Structure 1
Amino acid sequence: MKLRKYWKQLALAATLVVGLGIVAGCGDNSASDMNAAVNKDAKVINVATRGTSKPFSYTDENGNLTGYDVEILKEVERRDPSLHFNFKAMSVDAAFVAMDAGQVDAIANQMRNNPSRAAKYIYTKEINNYTVRRLVVKKGRTDIKSLDDLQGKTVAATTNSEFSELLKKYNETAKTPINIIFTDKGTAETLNLVATGRADAAGEYVYMVTTAQKDRNLPVESVGGVLTDVPTYFILRKDPEMQKVADKIDAQIKKMREDGTLKKLSEQYLGGDYTVKPNAN
């Protein structure tokens, strides 16, 4: 009886081993299927993106990285399988340090062109969208409509943004300078400062304000006319190989603009067509 029990247990153990082997085999096939969508010969481009800046770059409810900037590059990859974009979440300042160190190859984060960066990095030529900025105040406030209304008041601005530069330039000739609170935490922080009354105003993208109102029920609103309408691009590490990548990105974005895909992405993620230069009013 003991011998029979022994052989029965041995047979059961063998069955479990085989079963585990089958499960493991299914796991391997599943992983292969997931990777099959990516061309094994594709050039991998490591892309730094903030990952916390909705609607441009953020994680959705399923834990997937998405957003306008991210989805443009995903569409480029779908159209040109010779490229594969591997996204890495980090702040813009950290992204430039990482790119200088060769740890990332590109930045997708509403990058505007300026001469100092253009001398050091590669910019794509096709415009992703225009960043339309207006003043932002706490909902219901009526005393602020223009930059002149900000004299002597406290205004929140993201470090190195075109709005912060606009404020600095304004203060050069202002009778009563604007008090500027600088932050490197992006729009979420500037809007929180306004919503909590720690800042009288900010200057933010209209679609970021709309997103904050909708998703976070933040009591803020855009007021006044357009302050800036700066075009944005992707930026890449400067070397011949990355220039080829930039050219491929440009080729696909141009097609996306022509067939309406870029407009659709803008409407889906930004709430309107910001792929064309807006009216001044």
Structure 2
Amino acid sequence: MSSTKSQLNAQHCRDFVSTLHTTPYDAINPAAVNLPSPFVVCIIGGRGAAGGGLARAYARAGASGLILAARTRTALEETAKEVRSINPSSKVIVSECDITSESHVKSLAETVKTEFNGRLDVVIVNSGYSGPMITDVVQESPEDYRNAFDVNTIGVFYAAHHLLPLLVATNSAAMSFIAINSMAAPTVSGPFAHAHYCVSKAAQARLIEMINEQYSAKGIFCSSVHPGGMRSDFLRGAPEWLFKLLVDSPDLVGAFCLWLTSPINSERRRQVLNGRFLSCKWDVVELEARFDEILEKDLLRFRLAVE
């Protein structure tokens, strides 16, 4: 595939619907959602911009339990304090967890069993790694390439391996496994095409497709979600031209993921979007209008074109 065609495909993915949002809007307003109780959500990467946005959305919707996991406990406590102020009745647990360590992720699963009697309705893997944006594999750091796969791909596998059984055992109407991905996944050329990040995110999206194939019959919903462009520690040190483009609210990805995983009026949404690559920026009403087309053409999946 030529660079021009790949750039067009990435652009078409970004603009899959006409209306793109930067902040939450009425159709995905967390305050308008009343989650059933009990309802337990585990957010791996539950700190920083996106992690805070995700936690706030589920707290506003009345989640009875939240597990916030990340490597740094201090930052998690800040998010937990904010969540408790939004929803004082929610049980909030913080857990130090390095997603690149299988033993840490296994311990996280044990925490769910201990603190919530094994109940788990939604898992969101928000952990991510990116080094400098160097668009030359000779100049890119092998360490960055290895670290990107450890966090973005292998870590998501660890989360699926140890937490999917808890979702299945809970057998709720929600049962969702979401990976926060990136528009870097379909990108192979241009100023954003740094191999370690783009390739590891594409592999992550493929893993989500495989989880869908293996677990949809057991009631699991899964998806890869682009979180928009937000100013966060993750992009600390980004070039100034890129920083100016980061205008999306962290609350947008939280509201979108809540809409995606809410069990309320969800049958059609889960049927159509299971296993697919989505963007939190897409207007959900316009997205719903394309549901028949998505199924008919099997859109929003990675594929190898063979003529």
With structure 2 as the length reference, what TM-score do the two structures score?
0.30
Q: Which one has a larger percent strand, Structure 1 or Structure 2? A: 1
Greater Rg by CA: 1
Q: Which one has a larger percent helix, Structure 1 or Structure 2? A: 2
